[in-house]
Structure 1
Amino acid sequence: MTRTLKKWVALLSLVLGFQQIVHAQVTIQISYENGVFNANKTSYTFDVRAIRGINYDVANPDSSNWQFMNIRSDVEVPVGVTIQSTNYTFNPAYSSGGALSKNPPPNQNPQPGNWVGFSFNLTRNFENDIPAGNGVILGTGTFNFSGPVLSTNRMSIRPYDGTSFTAFWTNLELNLPRKRIVGTTNQALPVNLIDFSAAREGNTTTLVWSTSEESNSDHFEIQRSGDGKAWHKLKSIAAKGESSVEVHYATVDDSPMGGNNFYRLKMVDKDGTFAFSQIKRVEFDLKTGYTLFPNPVSDKLNFKSTEDWNSVSSIKIYNAQGGEVYTSPSVPAKEVNVKNLPSGTYVVKLSRKNGQSSGYRIVIAR
């Protein structure tokens, strides 16, 4: 699948609000990813990814947990086109608030070409630390333009212009210094994935997406998460492979989880390269948890729920003294044989792949 998204990882040195720490190590690296135009190219949606830098400090909560981020950027547009409106949906696991503004302070060192400015303001209050490695999607932004935007146009995070501090990561503790952000520059806007949606229909989720161009594409992997952090393969859909016209796809999640269900597409080429779509969220008010029966039990303990059993990672049973007396195999079964356990009261701990766990009291009686 040809992707016009080129991750030109030209790191721009963005300086902090205090001259004495100009050469400090980078705290956060930002990139704009998974961009999608609408059909007439007047609306553009993209994800904001954050990756830890060397100076990201998980030991001090005032340094890397209570923070405010301001990222000032630019997008190249045809002459006469402006940003009419914006929208930003933040990832609640890593942000407590956020907004995408079309009216940032002026760029004092503009690039050649017709660029319009925008900025992110993002806050964090006791949210999860940005994970190591590939980092995390902080949120999804959308531009609504006054006219069509070319696929050859670009986005960039402003570099330090020598007179003002145009992008920084700071703390709610105002006596702590601002920290440096780096980001991508001259990043092309991708056009191959036209749209991706997820909608609740009864007790199922319908997922629909379209592509405008495919080359060497192999398949789409539909992934789901309960928290926006731990992702698991839901199913795989074969791609068209080669196409220069619009192709439409659809599939259904027959067993969504109670609460939040986050969905994304992993678009995989025949050579193994891949890219992710933006994230969609669907909420279900299904009754969560499991029913364990029979209880009291003498022989075989069973589990029943509306949840997807594939989301269960392990089952453990503890006696009244807290000793572990049973651990499930790597693929837990819905039925556990307890006939070899003495009569008494036990606690069953059921853990899910998204990191959540539930405890249940059972009685073994004979």
Structure 2
Amino acid sequence: MPLGQRIWKTSNLSAATPTWTVSGTGIPDVPVNAFAIDPGNSQNVFAGTDIGVYSSVDAGLTWSSYSAGLPIVPVFDMVVHPVSRVLKIATHGRGFWQTTLGVLPVTFTSFTATARKNGKAYLEWYTASEYNNKGFELQVALKTSVNPVWKNVAFVTGSGTSTTPRRYGYEDAPTGGKKYLYRIKQIDIDGNFKYSEIREVELKDFDFGVYQNYPNPAANSTLIKYQVSEDANVSIILYNNLGEKIKVLVNEKKEAGIYQLEVNTSSLPVGKYYYKFVAGDFYNTKQLMISK
């Protein structure tokens, strides 16, 4: 058999006619008897040959010897333990051998801190893989011009050992300021730890909302105060007691802020009215009384 053609690979095995390609560059022209894939990283694969173990870190594109400390012996079976990450092999006539693979780190693929309504911050992070992960200690510090003073706000339990992506989230409500720094202290079961990158968030002081008009009852005019926590399309529509639209008071995009609207009610008959406030997904309705 030509050199390098001892191993073939397919990525569409479930197809009616799978496509196979040569994937044995670096493997000598010797029989390959066993195969194992690292459950923690499918890019790491191992081949048991008649002269020992070969490994690939690029899903089989290239191979190199992985037999340091192992006699030249046929390898007939092999497996990688998903938790201990021990590669175990069975040989012909030389018994069983094992070696510990590199430890999977807890790999962050994303970490964000986002301002929410009512002065809250939402922390969200993803991991690609975890090994012996006890959990995540969430820390916050008020942003100042000097060194930040960090304090713990919560602990989120990790997934132990996981080879699949994981998502985590936590909502915090800090007090004492407006701009905050957040970081995550990831802690292993054995006590080792490391920090994530730092994220900054500026909190909002208020939610969407509309206040009761004043004065109420009104005669010739009244004031309606409302607040917008983030840029949004805002509308305020006045209805009569039958639910019929009387007047559009506001219908435009507004920046975050607090607004006050004066409504001329001199032409409205005495009676009961309602004004509906809509901003983004938020809405609220208040009653307005007219008396002369």
Greater RCO (Cα-Cα under 8 Å, separation 6 or more): 1
Of structures 1 and 2, the larger Rg is shown by 2
Whose strand proportion is higher, 1 or 2?
A: 2
Alignment TM-score > 0.5, same fold? no
TM-score range, shorter chain: 0.3 to 0.5
Give the TM-score, by structure 1 length: 0.27
